[in-house]
């Protein structure tokens, strides 16, 4: 039985204001700046209310936009509010990083931070200068490379090209103009150039299909040709993946989306198996886990990745004990970073 508190009582805001202030300070929120907090009618109001209290305490001009949970996003007015803001914090069931309104705001110099992970993960994966430094250093390495190769003793052997796709450093704070990030993130990412991913990915026992909140029970082999899945073989996990991909009813669901590696030593690989003090599980732990390598299947056309594959599917697969090469230089060896700036 869990002995930790459950965050559901509105009085928990008194405990959360300090946590949000920490994150807002690392996001360089200054007195006099405009901070817009976006939520919706279905999301836990503790997030938005705590953020407003923290931002007000820091001297920012702050207000909240509440969207409807169902239906389309508004066509007018709220986009103008985002565009005129300095910092956008969004805790909502809507994936706003696919929206034109967020894209326009970022292009105008706004900063944006998505805050949706469970509160216990927010506490554990709060912004950390070491993670920020390590992630930025890894992104600089990837920006110098085009060809990426991933191998493992389990049988993974994938090659891909980055081409002109941006390299993303996600470290949990929105600290520079035009930067969008995710609380709990600690990862270097890029979208594969569509059609360039070739080879076989083997999910080994204990690897994560975090969209299922499921650890792989027996090896799953996924073959890629010209960026598309051509075969999925294995046991129950392979069966579930095939059925889930089929459920989208679209060709693009079978295409590779993006890849990355984790940079946060605080992240827990076992997070999705633990009894959490409130509902929800945190994929941030899986993606940020130090030295893991991720291949995502499906969409990569959000404001960050700027890819061309639009899909309802967005299925992340995080793997332990991989080797990763950038233009034939080995960066990760069996899940361990080899370069000093990334250790």
Q: What's the pLDDT at 277?
A: 56
On whether the CB atoms of residues 7 and 119 are closer than 8 A, the answer is: yes
Beta bridge partners of 158: 150, 199
Q: What's the pLDDT at 25?
A: 98
Q: What's the pLDDT at 342?
A: 86
Q: Is the pTM of this model over 0.85?
A: yes
On whether the CB atoms of residues 189 and 307 are closer than 8 A, the answer is: no
Residue 264 makes CB contacts below 8 A (sequence gap 6+) with 125, 128, 131, 186, 288, 289, 290
Taking alpha carbons only, the member of 181, 177, 53 closest to residue 127 is: 181
Q: What is the pLDDT along the chain (343 residues), one digit of tens a residue?
A: 344 455 667 777 888 999 999 999 999 999 999 999 999 999 999 999 999 999 999 999 999 999 999 988 888 889 999 999 999 999 999 999 999 999 999 999 999 999 999 888 899 999 999 999 999 999 999 999 999 999 999 999 999 999 999 999 999 999 999 999 999 999 999 999 999 999 999 999 999 999 998 999 999 999 999 999 999 999 999 999 999 999 999 999 999 999 999 999 999 999 888 755 555 556 899 999 999 999 999 999 999 999 999 999 999 999 999 999 999 999 999 999 999 888 8
Q: What's the pLDDT at 275?
A: 57
Concatenate the DSSP letters of all residues of 93-139 into one string: SS-GGGSHHHHHHHHTT-EEEE--S-HHHHHHT---HHHHHHHHHHH
Structural domains of the chain, with CATH? 10-116 (3.40.50.2300), 129-342 (no CATH)
**What is the three-class DSSP state of 48?**
helix
Q: What's the pLDDT at 205?
A: 98
Q: What's the pLDDT at 1?
A: 36
Tens digits of residue pLDDT in 140-195: 999 999 999 999 999 999 999 999 999 999 999 999 999 999 999 999 999 999 99
Taking alpha carbons only, the member of 263, 11, 21 closest to residue 122 is: 21
On whether the CB atoms of residues 259 and 296 are closer than 8 A, the answer is: yes
Instruction: State the residue for tokens 């709220």.
Output: 78
16 token code pair? 């959360």
Q: What's the pLDDT at 119?
A: 86
């Amino acid at each position: 039985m869990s002995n930790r508190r459950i965050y559901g009582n509105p009085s928990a805001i008194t405990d959360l204001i300090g946590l949000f202030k920490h994150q807002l300070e690392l996001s360089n929120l200054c007195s006099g700046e405009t901070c817009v907090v976006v939520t919706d009618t279905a999301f836990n109001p503790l997030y938005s209310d705590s953020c407003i209290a923290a931002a007000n305490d820091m001297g920012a001009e702050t207000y909240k936009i509440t969207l409807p949970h169902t239906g389309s996003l508004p066509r007018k007015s709220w986009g103008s509010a985002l565009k005129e803001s300095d910092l956008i914090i969004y805790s909502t069931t809507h994936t706003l990083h696919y929206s034109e309104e967020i894209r326009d705001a970022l292009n105008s110099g706004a900063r944006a931070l998505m805050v949706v992970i469970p509160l216990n993960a927010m506490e554990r994966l709060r912004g950390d200068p070491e993670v920020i430094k390590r992630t930025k250093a890894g992104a600089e390495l990837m920006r110098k490379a085009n060809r990426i190769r991933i191998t493992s003793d389990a049988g993974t052997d994938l090659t891909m090209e980055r081409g002109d796709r941006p390299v993303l450093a996600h470290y949990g704070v929105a600290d520079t103009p035009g930067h969008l990030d995710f609380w709990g993130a600690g990862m270097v990412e890029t979208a594969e150039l569509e059609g360039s991913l070739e080879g076989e990915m083997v999910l080994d026992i204990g690897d994560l299909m975090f969209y299922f909140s499921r650890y792989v029970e027996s090896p799953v082999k996924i073959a890629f040709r010209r960026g598309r899945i051509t075969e999925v073989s294995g046991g129950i996990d392979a069966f579930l993946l095939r059925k889930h991909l089929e459920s989208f009813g679209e060709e693009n669901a079978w295409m590779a989306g993006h890849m990355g590696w984790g940079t946060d030593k605080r992240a827990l690989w076992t997070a999705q198996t633990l009894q959490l003090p409130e509902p929800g599980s945190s994929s941030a732990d899986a993606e940020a886990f130090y030295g893991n390598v991720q291949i995502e299947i499906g969409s990569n056309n959000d404001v960050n990745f700027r890819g061309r594959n639009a899909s309802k599917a967005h299925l992340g697969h995080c793997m332990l004990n991989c080797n990763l090469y950038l233009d034939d230089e080995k960066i990760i060896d069996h899940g361990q970073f080899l370069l000093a700036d990334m250790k």
